[in-house]
Amino acid sequence: MDMPQNIIIKKSKISGQGVFAGKSFKKGQIILRWKKNKLLSKGQLNKLPRREKIYVIHYEKNKYLLMQPPERYVNHSCEPNTYTKNYRDVALKFIKEGEEITSCYSSAENLVKFRCHCGGKKCKKFIAKN
């Protein structure tokens, strides 16, 4: 796996593996650039097991993107510290070294519903597809 030097993958308190800042990031700084080498057709998407579908977003007409490591390990939070733009994770605010990198999946075009475990004060408890 091609891992940027500014992030660390390790066990997360939110869910499974998580992405953590290997250095501090300023607001507006790009943290991850997504790899777009796993585009799927609707047929290929339908054959994926549910545990993989959580890592899929709608890419363009009749195409879906299966997120790859490390970006697939950015956990959902109802109070995220990044947003996605042009297939990149961008810091919403200052992120200190060691902090978990999180994003709001409901603002992306996620394809499955899931129970949220972010633990934030504003947690929605359940995230539904757009």
- The domain that contains 80 carries what CATH number? 2.170.270.10
Confidence of residue 120 (pLDDT cuts 50, 70, 90): confident
Apex 46 CA angle, 42 and 47, nearest 5: 120
Q: Which two tokens stand for residue 94?
A: 């200052």
* Residue 110 placed within a domain: yes
Q: What mean pLDDT do residues 122-127 have?
A: 78
**Terminal-to-terminal C-alpha distance of the chain:** 30
Confidence of residue 105 (pLDDT cuts 50, 70, 90): confident
* Residue 2 placed within a domain: no
* Residue 41 placed within a domain: yes
Provide the pLDDT for residue 107: 56
Provide the pLDDT for residue 126: 76
Range of the domain at 72: 7-127
* Residue 1 placed within a domain: no
Provide the pLDDT for residue 62: 84
Q: Other CB atoms closer than 10 Å to residue 107's CB: what's the count?
A: 12
* Residue 113 placed within a domain: yes
Q: What is the pLDDT of residues 79-92, one digit of tens each?
A: 999 998 998 999 99
Residue 64 has pLDDT above 80, yes or no: yes
Number of domains in the chain: 1
Residue 59 has pLDDT above 90, yes or no: no
Residue 129 has pLDDT above 70, yes or no: no
* Residue 88 placed within a domain: yes
Confidence of residue 40 (pLDDT cuts 50, 70, 90): very high
* Residue 112 placed within a domain: yes
Q: What mean pLDDT do residues 67-96 have?
A: 93
* Residue 75 placed within a domain: yes
Q: What mean pLDDT do residues 22-44 have?
A: 93
Cα(34)–Cα(88) distance, integer angstroms: 6
